[in-house]
Amino acid sequence: MAKDAEEHKKDAAYKQAKREGYRARSAFKLLDIQHRYSIFKRAFYILDLGSAPGSWLQIAKKYAEINLTKYVDKYYHRDHYKIMGVDTKKLSSLEDIKIVKMDFTTPEFLIEVEKFFEGEKLDLILSDASINKSGNKFSDQSRQTKLCFQILKLTKFLKFKGNFVIKIFQGADFDNFYTEMKQNFMVVKSLKPKSSNKKSNEIYLIGLKKK
């Protein structure tokens, strides 16, 4: 077993994730974001990009199910939820969740989204997607930001006042992307979750209330 893999399995968050039934420690990153910004409030139609191994889908399903009974009022409500997860990696199935194995930057994926959600706008888009790192901090940051700009285009599927979460790497291109986010959302927050590796330059941007 590789040294990194051994250290990962000794990690406290990894062990906690396994105890609580989550597929990966990344579940706690999303839970931290939810705790601070309530991104899942009235979220029934959810798209998760870069889903493998599926921990964010597990969280999404948990809150979607809660929302079915929590928000039965005169405001926005649905009697069902729809969740789609997409990744180029193989992803084990999850009950009541649509799993798509494909590249979400392709035109074909747009068709998949339209078909599954039947042309209706989404409440929440999540992205923990990441490039395959080369080890060159500067080129990796640039490539990740380029991917983020591609992902941002998918927010056209979001409803008015819908929410958005995306992972980006801090660096030279960060400010440009942050500015673009500000043009698309009424509120933009940044967060490095507690369970993120302290040495990592990853950070999450949370777009609240799409314009």
pLDDT single digits (tens) 31-87: 999 999 999 999 999 999 999 999 999 999 999 999 999 999 989 999 999 999 999
DSSP H helical ranges for the chain: 3-10, 12-19, 27-37, 55-70, 107-116, 137-152, 174-184
- Mean pLDDT over 136-145 rounds to 92
Model confidence over 15-44: pLDDT tens digits?
676 666 666 688 899 999 999 999 999 999
Which residue numbers are catalytic?
A: 167
Question: Does residue 123 register a pLDDT over 70?
Answer: yes
Q: What is the DSSP letter of 142?
A: H
Alpha carbon separation from 25 to 13, 67, 79, 144 (Å, rounded): 6, 24, 31, 21
Question: Does residue 108 register a pLDDT over 50?
Answer: yes
Domains of the chain and CATH, by start? 3-210 (3.40.50.150)
Question: Does residue 173 register a pLDDT over 80?
Answer: yes
Question: Does residue 3 register a pLDDT over 50?
Answer: no
For the chain, how many helices (H) and strands (E)? 7, 7
